[in-house]
Structure 1
Amino acid sequence: MERWCTARRCAGTGQARRPVPVRLAAVSAVLATVVALPGGTALAAGDAPGGYGFAGNAPRVEGASGTADAPLLKPGTAYRSALPRSGTVHYRLELDTASDAHVSVTAVPGPGDEVTAADGIRLTLRDTGGGSCSLDTATFGAARSPRPVTAWAVRELSPAGTRCREAGTYHLTVERTRPQDSPPDTWELELMTATEPAPERTGAATAPGAWDSASPAPLTGEAEPRRGGSGFARATTVGQGSWRDGIRPGQTLYYKVPLDWGRRVYASAELGGTGSGSGHAPAALRLALHNPVRGEVVTAAKGYTGRQITAGLAPVPPVSYDNRYSTDSRAGGMRFAGDHYLVVHLAARVADDFGDGPFPLTLRVRLEGRAQDGPGYAGESVPKGLFEVPDGGRVAARGGATGGSTAMRAVAFGGIGTGSALLVGLGVWTALLRRRAA
């Protein structure tokens, strides 16, 4: 057991007292570590500054070249993998007959990769007999900026469907959409699998009713500082309000918005003007909304000429279980309660004409609708609580921001300010010394 002493030597032990400044330095270092976590943007070891923040402790799996050796993806676990330029990588899932399954794949190219508008990734999910259950692509678009792109595959147990309903082994394939034009380097992947239980109620599928597609008046007022996260797993929680940040060319920022059943979100991103430089960067500012399984719902993009611009998302309907039966892709994506994500990207080529930034960014979020009861699931989702909004999330949705992760809780503490936090730590340390001395 370690002894604490107030004299130069511990009485009766002959041991030299450890200098207090060493411990003070340790306390200061710990506190500095805590307050240096800016809203979930802290990077794990191996993450480059400004790069994608992968989920912490995600196991790495190697996609197989064929289905026979495809590694298993377990629901509720985030995985890291890699995608070569040519060829298809295969993964497998073991699915039952009681739950829908959702798989998202985020591909992260290198920051210096030269990509084309049509380049990106393609996901295909096939059933036990090889039939296609789902197909989705995600491309870099007109900005041709290397950024994280996310595609979403789903196995649905629709009452009206007849395919992909059996229990057994399903296979997910991931490939590049334009390998002949794609950069030669391997892309890092983040894969996430989730299951959604069936509702307790049974019956025929019900198409959603009409919804108001008019855009409300944008929020105004002073924006509060809120640092965006570097990935889905590190997204910063925000609610209704205006949030201020800075963004550099080539950077992607992630924000998390809790949405309950019956609630809807409107959002826009504003990029400030610059006093120098000239030119035009097409589709430079991109804003996207993703649902709780990371599926992309709606996007907006604006070119940049050095003047202030705003990219506003088209309206989406309130969250409803029945939205999955809509023929409107925007409505179909708003099928779950839970954390939704606003993803902002600034094209890398902005730096060519206007410098490296950072450029002032304002994210405006408006929430509407009254929270309602959900569908009454017959079981638990995996991961648990994925399609729910906890009480803390409801507080954030009413206008504040709350910590949905350890990093965010650290931010709440760090919000006291570095000086105040150090004073608290030093006060505790001084009290301990006095108590020991007594």
Structure 2
Amino acid sequence: MVPAVVAAVGAAALSTAPAAQAAEEPNPNSYRFGVGARSVEGAESSADAEALEAGTTYHSSIGPGGKLNFRVDLDAERNAYVSVVAVPRPGTELAYSDGIEVTLQDAQGTRCSSADEKAGAGRFARPLAAAAHRTIGGGRSTCQEAGAYNVLVERAEAGNPAPADASASASASASAPASASVPAFASGTWELEIRHVTEPGLRQPGPTEAPTAWPSASPGLPGGEARETAGGTGFNDAAEISEGEWSSRMEAGRTYFYRVGVDWGQRIFATASLGSTNTEDFTFVSEALTMRLYNPVRALVEYDGTGPYDGRQKQASLDPLPEVAYENRFAGADKVQGMRLRGDYYLAVSLNPRLAEKFGKERFGVTLRVNVEGDAEAAPPYAEPVGDLGVFESEKVERSDTMRLVGLVGVGTGALLVVGLGAWTLLARRAVAAPARGVPAQGVPAQGVPPADAGAGHGVPLPGTPAPARGPAAGPAGPRPTGGGAPYGDTHGCGPAGGPGHEGGTGQAGEAPPTGYGPPPSP
């Protein structure tokens, strides 16, 4: 009976950790939407638009060429942000200009700001995020009043390619019962995650002149041994990482999300390196790896991609960015505007699905190197307390519960391992203490749990195996041993002029940097 118990306990102990890891492994085909996201349908006209509440996550969808209207009610003091994450069906081949655009307009139809993100050169499905904003002050004359504002979400497209698995989807739909719901993706629909965030105004006027220069040299990257991590499927389950070197095994065709805390006065720098692959054939994949940086309200800050990958290692690097500062929001450049809030900044790393086709394997080694430079500074004089913008209360609870679960899993695994090892050791001792019939008993030296580097004569003998001798002949049995001790919001301009946008599939409206000082927000 003892062997059976030991086997069961040992199997449980050895399988607990992998099982826990498997439970936490993101679904490769699913973007994880926010906890408690409300369903909402966009209207064809602003007259029928449904209101979005601040601090709330919404779930919607948009078809090819779709235009959806929503409403946000704003006061005259708070800055406002509306972000949209579009989720094309995994495996879909997109055109370069396929993407999502969000525009915030006042009651007169004047554009406060707009932003978009496109598929870009990679042309494969991945989460596409864009955020529009209403910013108070800084010499702006529009979008400063209280009232109802319109949020226009548009799906930009150069065509409507069918998913790579269109035939399989069609077959599954044909064989499904009439009452079964057909996935939205079957008709080319993209799912949407929409969030509305507001930021308090200041108690007193602050600086309105954005920096025009900052260190152009890339900050030094920390050394040390790489730590393993698995990225999340999106913003909501992004893996938390800190300064240092991180390694991941990434699947071609997927995008992995990581979050890094950046405070006021700090700046972030990161690289993503795609490891080498042995190949006998000359082949390459253009833009094999891309890395994007989003700020706490999910606005795109910076982007980079690798050149053609031919099996030799390639690296994507963020350009040097300014320190996080309140006045950055008044800059003309997108990447400076983006560094306007403290909080979680998100790194999204994507691998081109053609890597699997060209190099014959699904997973590739990727190394992230992250540097957060500078000391944290005091927050601006907000008129009311500000926590982590972009992180809602329900998400804080979920993150806390996740860490608690990880701790419990660790404790449970350790306890099972201790029980398993104890039972195994006891069984071994009993087997040695009870010799086979007709064989004289032999003493064994007293011994505890074997050290990891034990050699001959140090291990616990297996049942039925005589104890190995070490040095002189074994003496009589000794006494039993006693136990031993053993880490922030928007971007992409505003105003009527269209800017060049980000290389690789993003274009944002821009305006000349505002001048002068705006009136202080009302307390």
Classify the TM-score, shorter chain.
0.7 to 0.9
Q: How does 1:142-161 map to 2 (within 5 A)?
A: 142-161=121-140
Partner of 1:185: 188
Partner of 1:219: 222
Partner of 2:252: 249
CA distance in structure 2 between the partners assigned to 1:419 and 1:375 by the alignment? 45
Q: How does 1:32-431 map to 2 (within 5 A)?
A: 35-36=20-21, 48-178=27-157, 180-181=159-160, 185-202=188-205, 205-208=208-211, 210-276=213-279, 278-302=282-306, 303-381=308-386, 384-386=387-389, 404-415=399-410, 419-420=413-414, 422=416
Change (3 A) 1:322 1:299: same
Contact 1:208 / 1:325 at 8 angstroms: preserved in 2? no
Q: For 1:63, what is the secondary structure of its paired residue?
A: coil
CA distance in structure 2 between the partners assigned to 1:88 and 1:425 by the alignment? 61
CA distance in structure 1 between the partners assigned to 2:390 and 2:32 by the alignment? 23
Contact 1:86 / 1:179 at 8 angstroms: preserved in 2? no
Change (3 A) 1:129 1:34: farther
Amino acid at match of 1:407: T
Once the two structures are TM-superposed, the CA of residue 203 in structure 1 deviates from its matched residue by 5.7
Once the two structures are TM-superposed, the CA of residue 421 in structure 1 deviates from its matched residue by 5.2
Contact 1:35 / 1:410 at 8 angstroms: preserved in 2? no
More strand by share: 1
CA distance in structure 2 between the partners assigned to 1:89 and 1:376 by the alignment? 37
Q: For 1:307, what is the secondary structure of its paired residue?
A: coil
Amino acid at match of 1:342: L
Once the two structures are TM-superposed, the CA of residue 103 in structure 1 deviates from its matched residue by 1.0
Once the two structures are TM-superposed, the CA of residue 77 in structure 1 deviates from its matched residue by 1.1
Q: Compute the TM-score of the two structures, normalised by the length of structure 1.
A: 0.80
Amino acid at match of 2:138: P
CA distance in structure 2 between the partners assigned to 1:374 and 1:326 by the alignment? 19
Change (3 A) 1:42 1:170: farther
Change (3 A) 1:228 1:198: same
Change (3 A) 1:33 1:247: closer
Contact 2:28 / 2:254 at 8 angstroms: preserved in 1? no
Q: For 1:273, what is the secondary structure of its paired residue?
A: coil
Amino acid at match of 2:115: D
Q: For 1:287, what is the secondary structure of its paired residue?
A: strand
CA distance in structure 1 between the partners assigned to 2:378 and 2:390 by the alignment? 12
Contact 1:289 / 1:342 at 8 angstroms: preserved in 2? yes
Change (3 A) 1:69 1:200: same
Once the two structures are TM-superposed, the CA of residue 188 in structure 1 deviates from its matched residue by 0.7
Once the two structures are TM-superposed, the CA of residue 222 in structure 1 deviates from its matched residue by 2.0
Once the two structures are TM-superposed, the CA of residue 342 in structure 1 deviates from its matched residue by 0.9
Please list the CA deviations of residues 175-199 of structure 1 after superposition, one character each: whole Å capped at 9, or x if unmatched. Answer: 1222545655000111111001111
Q: Compute the TM-score of the two structures, normalised by the length of structure 2.
A: 0.67
- The answer for unaligned runs of 5 or more in structure 1 is 1-19, 394-402, 427-438
Amino acid at match of 2:261: P
CA distance in structure 1 between the partners assigned to 2:418 and 2:20 by the alignment? 13
CA distance in structure 2 between the partners assigned to 1:421 and 1:218 by the alignment? 38
CA distance in structure 2 between the partners assigned to 1:243 and 1:186 by the alignment? 35
After TM superposition, the structure 1 stretch with the greater mean CA deviation from structure 2, 348-357 or 150-159, is 348-357
Change (3 A) 1:129 1:410: same
CA distance in structure 2 between the partners assigned to 1:415 and 1:153 by the alignment? 42
Once the two structures are TM-superposed, the CA of residue 216 in structure 1 deviates from its matched residue by 2.7
CA distance in structure 2 between the partners assigned to 1:200 and 1:107 by the alignment? 36
Change (3 A) 1:33 1:280: closer
CA distance in structure 2 between the partners assigned to 1:217 and 1:202 by the alignment? 35
Once the two structures are TM-superposed, the CA of residue 51 in structure 1 deviates from its matched residue by 2.8
Please list the CA deviations of residues 15-51 of structure 1 after superposition, one character each: whole Å capped at 9, or x if unmatched. Answer: xxxxx9xxx9xx99x977993377xx555xxxx5343
CA distance in structure 1 between the partners assigned to 2:404 and 2:317 by the alignment? 30
- The answer for unaligned runs of 5 or more in structure 2 is 163-186, 421-523
CA distance in structure 2 between the partners assigned to 1:198 and 1:320 by the alignment? 15
Q: For 2:124, what is the secondary structure of its paired residue?
A: coil
CA distance in structure 2 between the partners assigned to 1:142 and 1:365 by the alignment? 25
Contact 2:75 / 2:147 at 8 angstroms: preserved in 1? yes
CA distance in structure 2 between the partners assigned to 1:91 and 1:215 by the alignment? 41
Contact 1:196 / 1:380 at 8 angstroms: preserved in 2? no
Contact 2:250 / 2:366 at 8 angstroms: preserved in 1? yes
Once the two structures are TM-superposed, the CA of residue 278 in structure 1 deviates from its matched residue by 4.6
CA distance in structure 1 between the partners assigned to 2:153 and 2:127 by the alignment? 15
CA distance in structure 1 between the partners assigned to 2:332 and 2:98 by the alignment? 26
Q: How many residue pairs were aligned?
A: 383
Contact 1:119 / 1:182 at 8 angstroms: preserved in 2? no
Contact 2:245 / 2:370 at 8 angstroms: preserved in 1? yes
Q: For 2:39, what is the secondary structure of its paired residue?
A: coil
